[in-house]
Amino acid sequence: MVVLPLRHHCYITALLSSTTLLLLLYFQNSVLVFTYGSYGFVSERSPCACHTCVADRGNSNWFSERYDPNVPLLLNSTNSVLNANVSRWWNELQSDAGNYAEVVDQVFSLFPDKEHYSDTGSDRCRTCAVVGNSGNLLGSNYGPLIDFHDFVIRINKGPSKGYEKDVGSKTTHRIVYPESAIDLDNSTHLVLLPFKILDIQWLISAFTTKNITQTYVQVPSTIKADKDKVMILHPEFIRYVYDNWAERHGRYPSTGFLTLIFALHICDEVNVFGFGATSGGKWHHYFDKTLSYENSVHGGTFENETIHRLLQENKILIHKGWT
């Protein structure tokens, strides 16, 4: 039997107690993070309750330089006034700009006027699946994994019916513009991506007069959706993505890229499905053979490089599929 001096015994007891405390804190979703400094271990409040947090800017200088937690994500009456630079850039995307102020007044007499997703904090762990439309989803069997997330964000017309095994059946948000709009069930948020003022006018018309049937192509005059779940991406957010994340490649960001950056701002953990080519290098949708890769307008090559950099920086996880 070995008898330890009292001083050594106290040291071991303290060490075991500290280890136990660290383990307990780790398994309580890592709300507290301990770092070692010149004064010993110091606790820091984690930005979320997940094991890793997207909004933690301290672990990536590259991410911190681009991510702005204060950018307005969604339009409401308190943030609807556009600064001159954003207004000028956004108007340049449009062939016939309407009266933005008048349109905004109509919007908030019809749809919810409130601030969304301001509940970020150390007690929240919101997991999100961003589901693209790539053919690499076919045969993936990702459906149950996708549906397990708190938010499932889909893009444009990508259907779930008939593809549940691979893409899941749950949809909490669908990002659309008039030319890509489809009917939604009452559990899904319609998130309008306004590339032009006419897009917002179409949204109003689709729920009221139903008299807008044409933009640069024919669009549905009406849409089935819960008007209390309608949201509109802020033009300043679109410009922010173009400047900070796309670094002004292309004329404006793609819908998929905008959706992914949107998810970085409203989620704590982001998993990406259905982005990129199939294993054979083909770019088509899982629901048809339409080519989905466009480089001339959106700067697709640079967007893909940025998405993979987010993976390298441990900000997202990409599920590549099996096709």
Q: Give the active site residues.
A: 252, 298
C-alpha 319/C-alpha 171 separation (Å) is 18
C-alpha 209/C-alpha 221 separation (Å) is 9
Say whether 28 counts as a known binding-site residue: no
Say whether 252 counts as a known binding-site residue: yes
Residue 125's contacts (CB-CB under 8 Å, 6 or more residues apart) are 29, 48, 49, 50, 268, 269
Q: Among 98, 266, 67, which residue's Cα sits nearest to residue 58?
A: 67
CB 183 within 8 A of CB 163: no
Say whether 298 counts as a known binding-site residue: yes
CB 157 within 8 A of CB 182: yes
CA atoms lying within 13 Å on the CB side of residue 24: 6
Say whether 143 counts as a known binding-site residue: no
CB 203 within 8 A of CB 232: yes
Say whether 256 counts as a known binding-site residue: yes
Pairing of strands 32-37, 40-45: antiparallel
Hey, which residues does 317 pair with through a beta bridge? 271
The H or E element containing residue 8 is: helix 6-27
Per the listing, tokens 């849409």 go with 223
Angular region, 276: left φ>0, alpha ψ -120 to 50, beta rest: left
C-alpha 290/C-alpha 142 separation (Å) is 22
Question: Which amino acid, one-letter code, is at 235?
Answer: P
Say whether 117 counts as a known binding-site residue: no
CB 130 within 8 A of CB 167: no
Say whether 94 counts as a known binding-site residue: yes
Please state the residue numbers annotated as binding site. 94, 133, 156, 216, 252, 256, 276, 285, 298
Please state the residue numbers annotated as binding site for substrate. 94, 133, 156, 216, 252, 256, 276, 285, 298
